[in-house]
Structure 1
């Protein structure tokens, strides 16, 4: 990746402050260690300084004095919303360190706009997103390593519009750009007029630093408006955005080394919208629409709402053609699920991440509490949905087939190994940005088979620019093929077959595992779509 000189200009380094909150820890020992970590993180600011002195010092350093934030059980707070005006959503996104209060722990981590999640961006098909990205992070402390799949230069960044069918070139959704500290950069992405409407998101995608930045909370939602506009049961439902994250940090309340992320047990607790176990309020019989985004840096989550079913209406920003009732929802990193929830009788219900084996245990525990109270509302779930927006890909459309193999190596004592003893590969190779791994003609319709030969872990296959239609999993055809942009491929020979139309856009983009530890360590390839 090359440094992007586009619109580079120096900017001042200013520290911003914010307050948020998050989940319950497992066991008293874990709680004590977190309290100790929080105390260490606060030591430099609070030692030998009175409140008045701190306030004065904060003003001179550009910081805002913090106020205490309850650790959990506070009403769910949704991120700031920024909307398009006259066909354009024009905004800035500033990358900087910020103090954050999460679940009773004080962190100092990288952020968008000093918050986590970052602002929610709302726009419509055919509109243009213009962002001035200001990289206000400090200079990198290291150079480029010999092996670029060793995490490095954590303060370089860029911008990825995850799931969007847009150009991957120039200053659009180009993850090959390198946005260095101390400069600002222009981003301009135009949605096609027929773009699918639904729940999308944005995050950094700079190889070497993306994992560190995402695990710090540099994520945000994008809502492309207008789906289900003709379904009154859905338009009448209150809409909630739930951004799921894994909270991780070191003894100083920071994320500065890859060792903080790589152990499979690194996650301290889970969060929604930067809060630990928030409260979601509903009235008896009320139907709400939950836009759920799994913005976790590494792990699947198996979602369970006590004594309630979940009714899926869209996956990965693409409408389903029928309501899909679920007892539990498995959602992988990068995936989105739009669900309807119809509240039961008065009471408090746990919304949890249930145990799930993805080769290692997924993090478990409370995500939120749903409190049902007040005057009943007689709301209904829809009996039917409009036809799905993308046409099924038929056998006769296929112009080419190819196979992609995910694999990994690990030390014999897997659980005790250091991250440098592991390797993650696609087709036996680590990522090389100078190599083109797949060349596809514009207009091609292809069938891909993704195989996971890794003995120990599931993987999450994601490809940029064009969505795909899953037709079979582990040799079993789906009764209704499912449109996605990310899909779980099970370990020990798991296999997913999908079909995709490579339409509208030429350029180079990525496919990779969206378990970001694995992507950062080499499990990524390039795809070039070219015009013959």
Structure 2
């Protein structure tokens, strides 16, 4: 989504009402969740920083192994889950514009425990073959063809694939991320923790005040587990009392740890670079006693820092912040009450009852809510302000990302649909009424042209509310309207939310430049994507 909400607005409406403004008034509930865990890290005095690998000689060559591993996240026992190289999150990749990203992806995940007979007929709109994998470089403006950022490749267990992804010399600096994108398996693998950050260095890094700030990478995840702290397998053909993606607890982690601690001195400025790498969770973030000075959304720099107090990140969004430490003391980066999983649980009957357990049951790892007037918040990171040092400044201007948009060659209406046939117990997810099929002809824009798309939440109003999160590969987009109202200041993003109200919409312009080839646009609530809410797009000459 990528949205800033002022404290004044939050206090006037209450955070629940603020989120209702953007999610159609529906509660962002916990339908099949019994625990949402947070807690103390194994070493609360250490902020865990993922290992960084940097390009050399114009190439970043990495070996990346998908493997089941036991990971210490600071919970009461190690977590058994899918990982990259035995780590959650994976290493941070740092490149320069003009570099080539060379990835040797090795799939050491096990063969499916469920047999194909157990799965029934092959169905592209259910979880399937969830230990087959691939990789997507979310946010990079790169080619989707061949062994580039090609999400149609499939690497079965025991297989391997080399990717060669040239990054254009004019690519803007910013943060992006990598994660699996094999249809039918993406929700399972991302909710397991398979993700890592990508940093492209650029003009933003040469702003003196930004360059002087200590950089902190923060990969925010929601690791979905069973009661034994293990990743549960999907259920392709659930009963009405089951979910496609079962779980009984969620660990909200920062760089794979529960509530780590960062230390700053009064007047120090740090650069916090955050990605919401959860499968489908909204994260409404606030830092007690501090403003969030926003530099960029989705790797696209603003014209000037925007100071605010609450930032809403949909799944897949990235945000860059400058944080200036205030008076000595201890503060918390918190998830406000608007933060949770998506408001619908695919595979569950639409009922006010909760077959999976009550959201009022909590894991021992979930800290007690802290009352702040009318608000209750939950910490995911602690900031300790202590000591002394030189006063640091914030920049007044930034190298804005705002390229010219060619004349609009074609307009399009895209409907994110959720429907149910009379004889079907579960909803059907699709785009323009059609679940994804590899046999369907892709939508074909022409290279070098610009189009205007209006994205509409077309959930059947007889069903429960469903929010959706649009993400389109390769090219970012400029949002010009929300619910038909023209924005005073357009917003550049590659990921944006459709609220939970039927008929809610937003309109964007996008330029199909530099690359031909086939990629996808889809819902980044990844359970929705696996259940069919995805469409192939092929840019042609």
Q: What TM-score range do you get, normalising by the shorter chain?
A: 0.7 to 0.9
Q: 1:34 to 1:478 in 2, by over 3 A?
A: closer
Q: Which residue of structure 1 lines up, in the alignment, with residue 300 of structure 2?
A: 318
Deviation digits for residues 434-474 of structure 1 (CA, Å, limit 9, x no counterpart): 21241111111000000012251221100001111111112
Matched, 1:239 2:252: no
Matched, 1:370 2:383: yes
Q: 1:248 to 1:411 in 2, by over 3 A?
A: farther
Q: Which residue of structure 2 lines up, in the alignment, with residue 137 of structure 1?
A: 109
Deviation at 1:229, TM superposition (A): 3.5
Q: Which residue of structure 2 lines up, in the alignment, with residue 172 of structure 1?
A: 148
Please give the alpha-carbon distance, in whole angstroms, between the structure 2 residues aligned to 1:257 and 1:410.
25
Q: Which residue of structure 2 lines up, in the alignment, with residue 440 of structure 1?
A: 445
Please show how residues 89-488 of structure 1 align to structure 2 within 5 Å: 89-102=60-73, 103-141=75-113, 142-143=115-116, 145-258=121-234, 267-356=249-338, 360=343, 365-386=378-399, 388-393=400-405, 397-409=407-419, 421-454=426-459, 456-488=465-497
Deviation digits for residues 217-236 of structure 1 (CA, Å, limit 9, x no counterpart): 10000000123234211110
Q: Is the 8 A contact 1:140 1:154 kept in 2?
A: yes
Q: 1:330 to 1:181 in 2, by over 3 A?
A: same
Deviation digits for residues 264-308 of structure 1 (CA, Å, limit 9, x no counterpart): 985523110000001011111111111010000111110011011
Q: Is the 8 A contact 2:344 2:466 kept in 1?
A: no
Deviation digits for residues 159-210 of structure 1 (CA, Å, limit 9, x no counterpart): 1000111110100100000101112211110001101110010000001111
Deviation at 1:70, TM superposition (A): 4.9
Classify the secondary structure of the residue corresponding to 2:171.
coil
Deviation at 1:491, TM superposition (A): 2.1
Q: 1:264 to 1:294 in 2, by over 3 A?
A: farther
Please give the alpha-carbon distance, in whole angstroms, between the structure 1 residues aligned to 2:243 and 2:221.
13
Deviation digits for residues 324-376 of structure 1 (CA, Å, limit 9, x no counterpart): 11110000100100011111000010111101278739997321011110114
Q: Which residue of structure 2 lines up, in the alignment, with residue 88 of structure 1?
A: 59
Please give the alpha-carbon distance, in whole angstroms, between the structure 1 residues aligned to 2:98 and 2:495.
24
Aligned residues: 461
Bigger RCO (CA 8 Å, 6+ sep): 2
Q: 1:282 to 1:211 in 2, by over 3 A?
A: same
Deviation at 1:424, TM superposition (A): 1.3
Q: Is the 8 A contact 1:198 1:227 kept in 2?
A: no
Normalised TM-score (structure 2): 0.80
Q: Is the 8 A contact 1:270 1:366 kept in 2?
A: no
Root-mean-square deviation (Å): 2.6
Please give the alpha-carbon distance, in whole angstroms, between the structure 2 residues aligned to 1:265 and 1:329.
27
Q: Which residue of structure 1 lines up, in the alignment, with residue 524 of structure 2?
A: 514
- Give 5+ residue unaligned stretches, structure 1: 1-25, 36-68, 413-417
Deviation at 1:72, TM superposition (A): 6.6
Classify the secondary structure of the residue corresponding to 2:444.
strand
Q: Is the 8 A contact 2:67 2:85 kept in 1?
A: yes
Q: 1:131 to 1:84 in 2, by over 3 A?
A: same
Q: Which residue of structure 2 lines up, in the alignment, with residue 19 of structure 1?
A: none
